[in-house]
Amino acid sequence: MKTDFIQLFGNPWLAIGAAAVIVMGYLTVNSLMLVWLERKFSARIQRRLGPTEVGPFGLLQTAADMLKLISKELLTPAHVHRPLYLIAPILVFAPIMALCTLFPVSEHWVIYDYDLAVVLLLAFSGLNVIGIFAAGWGSNNKYALLGAVRAVAQNISYEIPLILAILPIVLMTRSLSFYEITSAQAAFPFIVVQPLAAIIYLIAATAETNRAPFDIPEAESELVAGFHTEYSGMRFGLFFFAEFSNMVIVCAVATVLFLGGWSGPLLPGFVWFFIKVYALILVMMWVRWTFPRLRFDQLMTFAWAVLVPLALINLLVTTVAIKLL
């Protein structure tokens, strides 16, 4: 009933190759579309039109942006710590590609059903912080370093509520694999049972992807362009690319954990999955264009003084409920 790529292709190397092609293809097209969607969506919120000239409804706008970024001069400033500076974009982007393979798109299709998927997710989502820090520190620029320091502090302090929000789900389904968690939600999505965990997860996820109101690391009005101040051309494109792919990952995890993945009436499984993912992405975009930015210490107190206690209480209530039922 459940086929993953290894059964499909037999030889694991072939499976990895196919998975890489599919994931890379999906992420590229998805990032192009998400950038276009964000510009159009934010334009509608701001009573303007957004890109309309390039291609029908401005659809080719992001393609033009990417082509331009690719053909830009790849500037490596002299004062830069070369190895760190060059490795940073790859470090930011690599974990996301790996994470893409874990999601069960529908009952029949999952690229790689890993039974410790949640652990892998948390490990890798911590990895891209290292990439951001390498970018900030490597580019040897005061604004970039300030941005990097902020990024590390923010991601670490929002990793804890993220984990504590996922734990109740794992406790309820007693499994770490996305496939089982989703199939356990056939009757009702877990958001009905765990609304608080869902909210905490979404807030922590917005902070993980450095999007407003938590976009302190690349706060445009304070730190010029934050950790990617010294990046030009396609290196900057990669950071842009990674941010939007990270957004998809985070929303996909939210759908799998809280909104019951592929389950849904009428339409086939994977259609529901993508509907829920893109609905959550629109919510994240909507939040970005409405809220101002938190100050750095307010952000930290919000994480430690509000989110962590709430998540702990929620965890406690869940364990007691599981014990009784």
Partner 1 sequence: MSSVPGPAMELVRDDEDRETYYLNMGPQHPSTHGVLRLRLHMEGERILSVFPVIGYGHRAHEKMAENRDYLMFLPNTSRIDYLSGMIYNLGYCQAIEKIMGIEVPERTEYIRIIVGELNRISSHLLWLGTYLLDLGGITPFLYCFDDRERILDILDSISGSRLTYCYGRFGGVTMDVDDAFLESTAAFCSYFHERLDEYEDLVTDNVIFRQRTEGVGPFSADLVQRFGLSGPCLRATGTRRDVRKDEPYGIYDRLDFEVPVGKTTNGDCFDRHTVRMAEMVQSLHLIEQAVRDIPDGPVMAAKVPKKIKPPAGDYYFAVESARGHFGMYIYSDGTDTPFRIKLRTPSFAHVSAMTEALVGTMLSDTISILGSIDIVIPEIDR
Partner 2 sequence: MAEAHDNTEELLEQLGPLVHLSKLETLLNHARANSLWPLTFGLACCAIEMMAVGASRFDLDRIGAGVFRPSARQADVMILAGTISRKMAPVIQTLWDQMPAPKWAIAMGGCTIDGGPFKYPGQYAIVEGADKIIPVDVYVPGCPPRPEALFAGLLKLEEKIKAGRKGPEMVN
Rule CB under 8 A: choose which of 1, 10, 48, 292 binds partner 2.
48
Which tokens sit at 208? 């993980």
Rounded-to-integer distance, Cα 164 and Cα 307, Å: 9
Q: If we measure between CA atoms, which residue out of 128, 265, 105 comes closest to residue 186?
A: 265
142 binds, among partner 1, partner 2, none (CB under 5 to 8 A by kind): partner 1
- For residue 54, with 0-12 CB atoms within 10 Å meaning exposed, 13-18 middle and 19 or more buried, which class applies? middle
Part of the chain binding partner 2 (CB under 8 A), chosen from 21-29, 45-53, 158-166, 281-289: 45-53
Least separation in angstroms between residue 210's CB and partner 2 is 16
CA distance 230 to 76: 8
Burial class (CB in 10 A: 0-12, 13-18, 19+), 6: middle
Region near partner 1 per CB under 8 A, out of 203-211, 295-303, 305-313, 314-322? 295-303
Does position 74 interact with partner 1 (CB under 8 A)? The reply is: no
What token pair was written down for 146? 């300030």
Q: Is 83 in the site for partner 1 (CB under 8 A)?
A: yes
Q: Which is nearer to partner 2, 208 or 218 (CB)?
A: 218
Contact pick of 73, 78, 323, 324 for partner 2 (by CB under 8 A): 73
Of 297, 323, 324, 325, the one binding partner 1 by CB under 8 A: 297
> In the complex with partner 2, which residue's Cβ is closer, 224 or 315?
224
Which of 23, 34, 58, 105 is in the footprint of partner 2 by CB under 8 A? 58
d(CA 310, CA 313): 5
Site string for partner 2, 3-42 (x = CB under 8 A): ------------------------------------x---
Report the C-alpha gap between 11 and 16 in whole angstroms. Answer: 9
Contact between 142 and partner 2 by CB under 8 A: the answer reads no
Residue range at the interface with partner 2 (CB under 8 A); choices 102-110, 157-165, 229-237, 278-286: 229-237
User: Of 181, 200, 238, 294, which lies in the binding site for partner 1, with binding defined by CB under 8 A?
Assistant: 294
232 binds partner 1 (CB under 8 A): no
Contacts of partner 2 in 182-221 (CB under 8 A): 220
Q: Is 293 in the site for partner 2 (CB under 8 A)?
A: no
Q: How far apart are CA 197 and CA 195, in angstroms?
A: 6
CA neighbours closer than 13 Å in the CB half-sphere of residue 43: 13
Number of residues that bind partner 1 (CB under 8 A): 37
Contacts of 240 (CB under 8 A, 6+ apart): 31, 35
CB of 269 closer than 8 Å to CB of 107: yes
CA dist., res. 165 & res. 175, Å (int): 15
Q: Is 222 left (phi over 0), alpha (psi -120 to 50) or beta?
A: alpha
Contact 100, 18 (CB under 8 A): no
Which residues here bind partner 2, judged by CB under 8 A? 39, 43, 46-54, 58, 60-61, 63-65, 67-68, 71-75, 220, 224-225, 228-233, 236
Which residues here bind partner 1, judged by CB under 8 A? 42, 45-48, 78-83, 140-143, 145-146, 212-213, 215-216, 219-224, 289-298
